C-alpha cells in the first residue's frame, strides 16, 4: 500500500515543534512514535512508513531539546516533553481518518517513559515500549539534562512498584495491549527496569515481551535495528488486524478480545 508523508507544525506552550505525518489510504488506527533522549523523529520515519502501509496514520515528531529546538536542551524538563507528546497525540487524533478508539503509542527509552505517562492521560489502546526508561518522581521540574546519572543508574537497578512511581502507576491502570522489547546487554536501561514495567502491567488484555539478543541500548548495529523493526511491525500487524476483524463482526465495536501472547 503506498504511503505519503507531510511535515507539520505542532503548537505547544506558545512554541512549535516539528512533526512528520505519515499516512496511507483507507486508514483507521493512529500510531504516535516517540523518540528517546538524544534522538529525533528521523529514527522513526522509515518505521512509520512500514506501519502506515498496514493501514494506519502515523505521526513522528521532535521533542523539545532536540533537532530544531536543540538550543533548549539544558532547559527542557520532563513536564515540557510530556506536553510535547500530549500535543502530538491531540494532533494525531484530530486527523479526520484516525479512529480515536484505536490509538497506539510507540516509545523508545525516554520516549517509552513518556508514552507510559500519556496512557494515563489520553485514550490509548496499544502501547509498545522499547527499553523504556524509568525516573524518580521527584525533581519533575528540574531540567532533564541535569538529573544525576549515577542516581538514575542506582534507581534503575532497584525494585520499584506502581505505588512509588508515576509511570508504573500508569502502567498498572492500563487496560490495552502491550509490547515490551528489551536489549540483552542494555547498560542504560538494565533488566530490573524491564522487570518493574512487566510487573506493573497486571490489568492489560495482553503482554508481549521480547529480548533482542546481544543488543545494546542504542541498537547500534543494523541487525539489531532490523530485528526491532520486524518485531514492532509484526506486533502492530497482529493488533490492527485483530481490531479490524472485531470491527467487522460488530460494526462500531473496537474492543479486541484477550489474546494469549507469550510473556
User: What is the CATH classification number for the domain harbouring 72?
Assistant: 3.40.50.1820
Instruction: Tell me the whole-structure pTM to 2 decimals.
Output: 0.82
Model pLDDT, residue 40: 61
Q: Is residue 106 part of a domain?
A: yes
Q: Is residue 40 part of a domain?
A: yes
- Ranking 1-10, 99-108, 154-163, 249-258 by mean pLDDT, the lowest is 249-258
Q: Looking at 94-203, list the stretches that DSSP marks H as alpha helix, in order from N- to C-terminal side.
A: 110-119, 149-156, 166-173, 191-200
Q: Is residue 262 part of a domain?
A: no
Residue 257 in this model has a pLDDT that exceeds 90: no
Q: What whole-number distance in Å separates Cα of residue 72 and Cα of residue 62?
A: 12
Place of cell 518485531: 231
Residues 53 and 24 sit within 8 Å (Cβ to Cβ): yes
- Give the model confidence (pLDDT) of 44-89 as tens digits: 888 899 999 998 999 999 898 765 666 666 889 999 999 999 999 9
Model pLDDT, residue 67: 55
Q: Is residue 45 part of a domain?
A: yes
Q: Is residue 172 part of a domain?
A: yes
- Give the mean pLDDT of the chain: 88
Half-sphere exposure of 153 (CA within 13 A, CB side): 6
The domain total for the chain is 1
Model pLDDT, residue 256: 32
Q: What whole-number distance in Å separates Cα of residue 17 and Cα of residue 59?
A: 13
Q: Is residue 168 part of a domain?
A: yes
Q: Is residue 260 part of a domain?
A: no
Residue 204 in this model has a pLDDT that exceeds 80: yes
Residue 152 in this model has a pLDDT that exceeds 60: yes
Q: How far apart are the first and last CA of the chain?
A: 31
Model pLDDT, residue 42: 74
Q: Give residues with Cβ within 8 angstroms of 22, minimum separation 6.
A: 3, 4, 5, 45, 48, 49, 51, 52, 57, 58, 59, 60
Residue 194 in this model has a pLDDT that exceeds 90: yes
Domain of residue 106: give its range: 3-249
Q: Is residue 256 part of a domain?
A: no
Residue 260 in this model has a pLDDT that exceeds 60: no
Amino acid at each position: 500500500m503506498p504511503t505519503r508523508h507531510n511535515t507539520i507544525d505542532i503548537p505547544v506552550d506558545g512554541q512549535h515543534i516539528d512533526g512528520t505525518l505519515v499516512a496511507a489510504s483507507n486508514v483507521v488506527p493512529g500510531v504516535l512514535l516517540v523518540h528517546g533522549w538524544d534522538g529525533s523523529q528521523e529514527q522513526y520515519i522509515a518505521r512509520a512508513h512500514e506501519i502506515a502501509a498496514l493501514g494506519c496514520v502515523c505521526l513522528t515528531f521532535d521533542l523539545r531539546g532536540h533537532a530544531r529546538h536543540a538550543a533548549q536542551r539544558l532547559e527542557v524538563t520532563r513536564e515540557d516533553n510530556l506536553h510535547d507528546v500530549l500535543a502530538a497525540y491531540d494532533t494525531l487524533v484530530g486527523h479526520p481518518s484516525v479512529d480515536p478508539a484505536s490509538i497506539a503509542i510507540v516509545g523508545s527509552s525516554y520516549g517509552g517513559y513518556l508514552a507510559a505517562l500519556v496512557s494515563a492521560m489520553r485514550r490509548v489502546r496499544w502501547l509498545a515500549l522499547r527499553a523504556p526508561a524509568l525516573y524518580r518522581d521527584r525533581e519533575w521540574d528540574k531540567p532533564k539534562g541535569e538529573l544525576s546519572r549515577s542516581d538514575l543508574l542506582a534507581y534503575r537497578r532497584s525494585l520499584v512498584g506502581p505505588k512509588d512511581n508515576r509511570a508504573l502507576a500508569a502502567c498498572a491502570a492500563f487496560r490495552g495491549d502491550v509490547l515490551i522489547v528489551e536489549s540483552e546487554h542494555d547498560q542504560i536501561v538494565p533488566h530490573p527496569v524491564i522487570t518493574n514495567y512487566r510487573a506493573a502491567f497486571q490489568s492489560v488484555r495482553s503482554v508481549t515481551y521480547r529480548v533482542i539478543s546481544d543488543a545494546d541500548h542504542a541498537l547500534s548495529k543494523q541487525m539489531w535495528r532490523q530485528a526491532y523493526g520486524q518485531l514492532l511491525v509484526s506486533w502492530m500487524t497482529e493488533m490492527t488486524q485483530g481490531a479490524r476483524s472485531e470491527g467487522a463482526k460488530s460494526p462500531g465495536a473496537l474492543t479486541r478480545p484477550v489474546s494469549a501472547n507469550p510473556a
